[in-house]
Amino acid sequence: MSQLLTRNASHDPSRTSWVESANQPGCDFPIQNLPWGRYRLKTANTNDWHLGVAIGDQILDARAADVIDTDDLNAVMALSPQQRLAIRNQLSEGLQTGSAKQAQWQALLTPQADVEMGLPCRIGDYTDFYTGIHHATAVGKLFRPDQPLMPNYQWVPIGYHGRSSSIGVSGSDFKRPQGQTKAPDAAAPSFGPSKRLDYELELGFFMAQGNAQGEPIAIDDAEDHLFGVVLLNDWSARDIQAWEYQPLGPFLAKNFATTISPWVVTNEALAPFRAPFTRPASDPQPLPYLDSANNKAQGQLAISLEVLLQTAQMHAAGLAPVRLSLGRADQAAYWTAAQLIAHHTVNGCNLQPGDLLGSGTLSGELPTEAGSLLEMTQGGKQPITLPNGEQRTFLQDGDTLILRGWCEAEGAARIGLGQVQATVLPA
């Protein structure tokens, strides 16, 4: 079993920090978390980016603290699991209450409110999977009532290669995409802004050490190659997608924007929040290269996921965002992160530090757990009514979409993934 999945003193729920804000109930970034991010002061006029660790409402400059010797997260991702564990333990011990490092490190803190966050690392490649079986079933029913799931779904982790150049960090607003669409009763397609713009609630898995081309990563080794997790919104133009996706899959409907949260919660921080991977006995069981005792025992991630919407009208009126859904990743995903890594490399494909794997839309069984408007509105046929009386089938210009995530378990301190948000701008 990977050392990254074993609890140690850094997970102790009784451990507190000399950074007081990290000890507040409900804080996303207590000392048990310690996620990585890339930041610069809002007042900076240069490309002076730093690599830091979130602690409470502060950021510790990890290089200045002599914990690492780089401001390049890809270099940290490329380290061995043992080295990454040692860095985590050094950070935890230096930030805990009573640490001799307090006097030195206190001067290296920067309030999160004073910084601009960037993408955490260089994302060389991006693959989006389709692990949410309830989402796949619900969407399949809209188009294929007699066969919601294609025959390969329960055997193969389905995925497609996305566009890394259009991935942005939380706060990166984007223009409504334009493209070809075709109405069912039209003789020819038309061109213009998408009228069926949607979000997709996902997790993003960042790769740590990669693999040489031609040398697959075995499933029992896959956890060592997972650096950490972010929230991911895979924006989708459903009308453009419907016209273009046959026979090669999504293209312009997906590659215009993907948004991720700025803080990467490490695999080792998630050790207390593991859940079993199980399949109904009536379903096909994974082929041997996708199966292991460790993956069955703790392959899933018990992460709560929330979607909120604030319309332009709500913003103008000073109204808070309203919740659209709340669910759990481990109750939605049909495949685990380890299985995605093993499958992605089984043909000899070489992954690299900083590569990003999207989970696919993580919807639960209930309507209140839907991870997209396509499901929530039954393909646009059943508009949802917001508390202020506005209705939505798909996203309108000025809408701000927010994803939040956190982990809670008995005998563990609550940790969060922060949030990812972006606003739809006119085409």
Q: CA 104, CA 109: separation in Å to the nearest integer? A: 10
- Is 200 within any annotated ligand binding site? yes
Q: CA 143, CA 146: separation in Å to the nearest integer? A: 9
Quick one: which H or E segment has residue 423?
strand 415-425
From the candidates 135, 225, 343, 344, which is the catalytic residue? Answer: 135
Specify whether 135 is catalytic: yes
Reduce the DSSP state of residue 227 to 3 states and report it.
Answer: strand
- Is 241 within any annotated ligand binding site? yes
Alpha-carbon distances, residue 271 vs 94, 137, 138, 202, 299 (angstroms): 21, 30, 31, 20, 10
Specify the length of the chain in residues: 427
Q: Residue 306: beta bridge partners? A: 326, 404
β-strand pairing of 356-358 with 126-129: parallel
Type of residue found at 394: F
Tokens 């709340």, located at residue: 326
Q: For residue 16, give both structure tokens.
A: 């507190």
Whose CA is closest to 378, among 231, 198, 258?
198
Q: List phi, psi (to 5°) of 91.
A: -65, -45
Whose CA is closest to 302, among 411, 219, 217?
411
- Is 128 within any annotated ligand binding site? yes
Q: CA 17, CA 176: separation in Å to the nearest integer? A: 43
- Is 397 within any annotated ligand binding site? no
Q: CA 407, CA 103: separation in Å to the nearest integer? A: 31
Quick one: which H or E segment has residue 326?
strand 322-328
Q: CA 273, CA 409: separation in Å to the nearest integer? A: 6
Buried b (16+ CB within 10 A) or exposed e, 380-414: beeebebeeebebbbbbebbbbbbbbbbeeeebbb
- Is 202 within any annotated ligand binding site? yes
Quick one: which H or E segment has residue 54?
strand 50-55
- Is 245 within any annotated ligand binding site? yes
- Is 361 within any annotated ligand binding site? yes
Binding site listing for Ca(2+): 128, 200, 202, 234
Binding site listing for substrate: 130, 144, 241, 245, 361
Binding site listing: 128, 130, 144, 200, 202, 234, 241, 245, 254, 258, 361
| Catalytic center residues | 135
Binding site listing for Mg(2+): 234, 254, 258
